Amino acid sequence: MSDKTFSLDVGNDGVAIITMDVPGESMNTLRDSFAAEVRDLLGEIVQDSSIKGVVFTSGKPGSFIAGADIAMLAACKTTDDAYQISRGAQQLFNELAALKVPVVAAIDGPCLGGGLELALACDYRICSDSAKTVLGVPEVQLGLLPGGGGTQRLPRLVGVARSLDMMLSGRQLRAKQAKKFGLVEETVPLSVLVDVAREYALKGKRKAVKPNLKGAEKLLESTAFGRKVIFDQAGKKVLAKTQGNYPAPLKIIDCVRTGLEKGLDAGYEVEARHFGELVMTPESEALRSIFFATTEMKKESGAGDAKPLPLNKVMVLGGGLMGGGIASVTALKAKLPARIKDIAEPGLQNALAYSYKQVDKRVKKRQMTPAQRDKAMSLLSTTTRYDGIKDVDIVVEAVFEDLNLKHQMVKDVEANCGEHTIFASNTSSLPIGQIAEAASRPDKVIGLHYFSPVEKMPLVEVIAHKGTSAETIATTVAFARKQGKTPIVVQDGAGFYVNRILALYMNEAANLLLDGEPVEALDKALVKFGFPVGPVTLLDEVGIDVGAKISPILESELGSRFAAPAAFAKLLADDRKGRKNGKGFYQYGGKAKGKKPVDESVYQVLGIQPQGRLSQSELAERCVVQMLNEAVRCLEEGIIASPRDGDIGAIFGIGFPPFLGGPFRYIDRLGAKSLVERLRSYQERFGDRFAPADKLVAMAEQDERFYP
């Protein structure tokens, strides 16, 4: 194996092919140490007068370049280290762009971040139409900005508004969309990719780069005033979305603006400066940690060396919202046949309609063809009886939260399915060990807890009870992954991990409400803190009745700190269930989308006078410290295996602010000692529900951290 990353091959037609293939890696990423090798090749090209054009391609099938090596960025010790990386990339790409002969990027697979910036420095970009081909600048999701000249080249190629959309969202465009955006010249089948790129390489140097804009878009972008409107709007949108918690987006806007107002040199300089600053921020460190954690988790079986069993056929019990969602991701994402069973036809029709809606949405967005939709739907079948299921590999039950009913399901499945069939329960509150008591093969019983809406929420908890076999765990983890989920394996116990930490946070919000803090003030405070929605909105969404059902289970299993405030019973007595029956903390009558007004009559029902006394930060802190403390208890009790799993679980399951990196990273940032002090001061004022976890106290005494 060659120890070189780049090779040069000049064809008889005078086209030189540069192939990038980082030795020993599954994916190409860019490192500053490659610069010398690339410069040597560029020197050779300049020297060779027979070369008429260059094609830049990858030697790894299905992987162009996934961006700069994130580990290299994480290793930066100072702002200047990161500034130099950005400057180095800009210079190298400028040298590539300055070649006298045309350069064409032939793209197959991910072309992201620095990879796209390299492609942008080429005269032409041709990409394959393969499903793996995606183009984008996802740096913002790492708390960064495109630091290889992307903030300057992208707006000049696709326009200001489109480039801001790409850079501020970090979204990845598929081949067709990339063509529409003017990002690539052509999308072609992989088999002819390099041939077409060769033809472009012989076309001559590209003269001018101009975005392909029409109508109002063109008009707006062609004047300084119009561009100012775009920047101002983007800035406002960013602040509303990020609540000022993420520094990268505003810096991205600044780079684009500077470059367009003051010229390329000023633009490159500000890009590198901001890039250097961002790499060293705690927000970027936290966001990078999520990338490292999820990449690591993709390789884990969830049960040591255990290997997953093959999965060919799935059954879903219950055609409700959860069952429908589970069947839908099984067919659509995992591409496995799923048989849905319900006691009555209407449930089955609902489940099918639900799945159809999901796939049809994708057809409307042109992410799928009608034929692909029909193929996905053909994987779903329905039944009201246990028939045609002898060979199913896994049954996911999503019926009512009733232990007797679940016991019956276990028995039915054992009687009708094969010896190897796994019984996975989507319970959100019942201990899996109790469900397994009805099983003659308890090693095949496991929990598989999805979050609603199933197709959107990325997390699942895989819950092993004491008797679950390692093979069952590994198979269930593999199944969840096929469905596009990030699974964390947790131990059995009331509320498992996610609902357990969420319950205490929600209870504290309820306590604050009963102390007279207004509904909007609470929701605003936690949204400002970084959660996607506030706790009161969340309770309305989840259902006040659902919360009321779970609380007593948690209280009896885990202790009085889980007791829901007694006054909440009055809400149910007033038939307030939340959004589902149009009656909760907010009003749901109006047709208008967006923010709903608070239903002020709720204060009367609860017997309180709303009167905001506490600051936003105190409101947020009181709820959040409860969540942090309980997360530590879960680690202490072995409910979660590691701080990493606890962080990913909270971010993907609840929307814990990603820029804080999860509860455990956030505790490290606060310091265990300072958290214990805050908890103790609340404990003195409000009682033992704030008593700090033993592990936290011990860590505070030893001045320890969860992460090195």
Ligand X SMILES: C[C@H](O)CC(=O)SCCNC(=O)CCNC(=O)[C@H](O)C(C)(C)COP(=O)(O)OP(=O)(O)OC[C@H]1O[C@@H](n2cnc3c(N)ncnc32)[C@H](O)[C@@H]1OP(=O)(O)O
Q: How far apart are CA 227 and CA 235, in angstroms?
A: 12
CB-nearer residue toward ligand X: 26 or 191: 26
CB-nearer residue toward ligand X: 126 or 144: 144
Token representation of residue 196: 């077409």
Token representation of residue 310: 């093959």
Q: How far apart are CA 88 and CA 80, in angstroms?
A: 12
- Compute the least distance from the CB of residue 156 to ligand X, in Å: 16
CB 429 within 8 A of CB 414: no
- Picking from 173, 194, 196, 198, the residue whose alpha carbon sits closest to that of residue 183 is 173
CB 463 within 8 A of CB 449: yes
- Compute the least distance from the CB of residue 372 to ligand X, in Å: 20
CB 213 within 8 A of CB 163: no
CB-nearer residue toward ligand X: 169 or 452: 169
- Compute the least distance from the CB of residue 457 to ligand X, in Å: 19
Bridging pattern class, strands 338-341 and 314-317 = parallel
- Compute the least distance from the CB of residue 74 to ligand X, in Å: 9
CB-nearer residue toward ligand X: 136 or 663: 136
Token representation of residue 341: 């069973």
Q: What distance, in Å, lies between the first and last C-alpha atoms of the chain? A: 35
Contacts of 76 (CB under 8 A, 6+ apart): 82, 85, 279, 280
Contacts of 529 (CB under 8 A, 6+ apart): 620, 624, 657
- Picking from 459, 472, 467, the residue whose alpha carbon sits closest to that of residue 502 is 459
Backbone φ and ψ of 298, nearest 5°: -60, -25
- Compute the least distance from the CB of residue 75 to ligand X, in Å: 11
CB-nearer residue toward ligand X: 70 or 606: 70
Alpha-carbon torsion, ordered 181, 182, 186, 190, to 10 deg: -50
CB-nearer residue toward ligand X: 78 or 295: 295
> Annotated catalytic residue: which of 117, 271, 461, 621?
461
Bridging pattern class, strands 314-317 and 394-397 = parallel
Helices and strands per DSSP (H, E), number in the chain: 30, 17
Concerning whether 461 is annotated as a catalytic residue, the answer is yes
- Compute the least distance from the CB of residue 19 to ligand X, in Å: 18
- Compute the least distance from the CB of residue 165 to ligand X, in Å: 17
CB-nearer residue toward ligand X: 132 or 176: 132
- Picking from 399, 379, 398, 386, the residue whose alpha carbon sits closest to that of residue 312 is 379
User: Using only C-alpha atoms, what is the Rg of the chain?
Assistant: 28
CB-nearer residue toward ligand X: 70 or 651: 70
- Compute the least distance from the CB of residue 640 to ligand X, in Å: 22
Name the site residues for ligand X (rule: CB under 6 A).
26-27, 29, 66-71, 89, 110, 112-114, 117, 138-139, 142, 144, 146-148, 150, 295, 298
User: How wide is the angle at C-alpha 55 spanned by C-alphas 175 and 126, nearest 5°?
Assistant: 15
Tokens 């399951």 label which residue? Answer: 653
Contacts of 257 (CB under 8 A, 6+ apart): 227, 231
Q: List, by residue number, the catalytic residues.
A: 461
